[in-house]
Amino acid sequence: MIMIPRLPLYVICIMTFCSLSSLLAWADDSSLDQTTQQIALNSRPDAQKDFQVDTSSNTTDKQTDTNDNKSWEFSQSVKYSRGKYGTSQESETYEEDSSLQRDFANAMVSVTIPSLWQTGNVIATAIGRQIINKRTVKTATNSIISPTIAGLGDISLSGSYYLLEEGRNSPVDVTLTAYLKTPTASVKDGLGSGAWDGGPGIGFTKKIIDHIKAVADASYTFIGKVPGEETRNQVSLDGGLEYDITPATSATVKYEYSNATTKGGPNSQDIALSINYKINDDWKINGEVDFGLTHGSADETYLLGASVSFAGGILGLLPSPNAVSSNTSDYQTASSFFEPISTRFISDPLFLPLKGQLYGATAYTYSLAHSSTYNYLGKNTAKSSVDTNTFTQNIQYGISDRLTLRLIDSYAFNKAAQSVSTTGAVTNNNNEGFNNPTIGTIYRVLEQPSFPADVDLTFNISPSAFSAKEAGSGRNGTVASGTQPIAVVTGIGREMKNFTIEGTFTTTYVGNKYYESYANDDNYLEQEYFNYSFGLNTQTRLTERLSINLGAGYTITDHAYLTNLSTGTKVYVTIPNTFDLTGSINYHFIPNRLVGALTYTYDDYSTGKNTYSAVTSDTESRNHYANVFGARMQYLF
């Protein structure tokens, strides 16, 4: 019987967003008055906090973006908040939001994906501005600890319709809004309520005198049912003034209010100060400071964000018919093997999609790994093998010829681990499920032929979207890492007619790792550490259709402490370094459009150690290596 896994909720949200974008684009009336098209929405990057809409700031920006056909906007923000939330203990929350917005002549839709880090003695779970529960974290010995909880937040979808414009058909600007929050955050960790929330809203903007506007918003949120809590729907109001300091700079001060979402809870009241600065037609930055006036709010909140506007999108993914052919002419005319070219082959290590191109890679791999375990006396106590089947999907979209967005995820099944001890005892475990997605950007800082080499800067983050469970006691585990690493990659390469070479250096921050072991039903924390990787990648093009890729890499891994949160036991972990060799044979079924490849990777690991307070418990992992065989299809639209 074939089991088809359910799509993760964040994928469903993104698919819904794309469908809404396409529907609105189809329904969009391009014959609307230019004056109507100038009505603006200032979509705040902290959409997880509330969905009040400020319709005062972006009239000029909207006109510019509409005229330039830059109908998409990508924004990134980081937010820090601190508060006691009515308890004697203080907690801190860090939030990173990634938003994608699609603008139309008189409407907007957006999706926001937040990542959360919360540290302190109190785990505070929020709905909008309201804290719905607070709990003090303790160990089995009843001592208070200050853990760091991290993971994916509640993904939200929002939309706006610009109903009326001041001075033309109304005394004020009027914007209708709608909001939906999905329960993607972990309820167990306190990062989310586990319920769907959403509702309508309305925003008003009124010019008072030159450079000064009055702004006000109101919304009603239907709060989903939360186990153990008597929830109430929420009414939120805010109002204030916006001052245009310069044509590119505006500042806003607001008073914000929300009623309590739980019975007996405090209302939320804040004073918010924000500033927006338009760097040019594409880039904007903004900052905000909030001061809480009640226990229902954080004491202090600080936000810094940036956004970029660009053309293209769901209805404009296909490039012009000559986009690829014009890009490959220098390959066809190059006279020598080592003559530099700027052709972008989709199987090449230096490949980036051009502006408006959509690139995808679908891969299957089978991995077979072996290792041996030794005790503190150096005696071999067990031999283990792990075989894994994995499907991986990579999607990239060219915002410009030098800037690319990408999303990568994988699903592993039948990850069977078998350990055979020297006494003959056999232990079998199985893990399966989705890995955490990787969201990233690649920017080509320097490019051939204006520079002797291509220089790329890559940023990746893998939000902790799925819980990490270690298999045991006959129960299957997961393949999710339990952490959310952040990686920065610098690549330098040179592409020639028949040969490409690239060197890479990667710094990876591996945050705190949380997982549950089914072997003893205890929870574990592996503390944060850094990895440093060096890589060398090449491609040799034998013909226009046939090529061979070869590469090598080495990863230096830091040490970490592993703590059993139930017993307090700590283990000092020496994580193995890794050396890998990779190779593939690539064939262009359709030149530079559809490529098939057979792949192979060999991984070799150094000795890993677990060091306990009692030396007799120490273990080592030696002779650890893996062979990985696979097939891959790459395609370009």
pLDDT, one tens digit per residue, over 19-75 is 454 444 444 443 333 333 332 333 333 333 333 334 333 433 443 334 446 688 888
Provide the number of structural domains found in the chain: 2
CATH number, domain containing residue 16: 2.40.160.40
The answer to whether residue 4 is domain-embedded is no
Residues 456 and 468 in one domain: yes
Residues 305 and 348 in one domain: no
User: pTM above 0.85?
Assistant: no
Residues 569 and 434 in one domain: yes
Residues 271 and 397 in one domain: no
Residues 64 and 121 in one domain: yes
Residues 98 and 24 in one domain: yes
CATH number, domain containing residue 336: 2.40.128.130
Cβ atoms < 10 Å from Cβ of 400: 17
Q: Compute the Cα dihedral for 66, 67, 69, 74 and give only its sign.
A: negative
Q: How far apart are CA 541 and CA 538, in angstroms?
A: 10
Residue 484 has pLDDT above 50, yes or no: yes
The answer to whether residue 151 is domain-embedded is yes
Rounded percentage of the chain residues whose pLDDT exceeds 70: 79
Residue 332, burial from CB neighbour count under 10 angstroms (0-12, 13-18, 19+):
exposed
The tokens for 235 are 């009414």
R_g over Cα of the chain: 27
**Local structure of 20: helix, strand or coil:** helix
Dihedral (Cα; 149, 155, 161, 167), 10-degree rounding? 20
Of 26-35, 496-505, 614-623, minimum mean pLDDT range: 26-35
Facing residues of 475 across strands? 472
The answer to whether residue 1 is domain-embedded is no
The pair phi, psi for residue 436, each rounded to 5°, is -65, 140
User: Which pLDDT value is given to residue 123?
Assistant: 56
pLDDT, one tens digit per residue, over 84-141 is 766 667 778 888 888 989 888 889 999 998 888 777 655 556 555 455 545 544 434 4
pLDDT, one tens digit per residue, over 212-235 is 999 999 999 998 887 777 788 889
The answer to whether residue 253 is domain-embedded is yes
Q: How far apart are CA 148 and CA 541, in angstroms?
A: 49
User: Which pLDDT value is given to residue 314?
Assistant: 38
pLDDT, one tens digit per residue, over 438-471 is 999 999 988 887 778 889 999 999 988 888 888 8
User: Which pLDDT value is given to residue 628?
Assistant: 95
Q: How confident is the model at residue 335 (pLDDT cuts 50, 70, 90)?
A: low
pLDDT, one tens digit per residue, over 534-554 is 999 999 999 888 999 999 999
Supply the range of the domain harboring residue 87. 9-315
User: Which pLDDT value is given to residue 71?
Assistant: 81
Final residue before a domain boundary, out of 315, 349, 367: 315
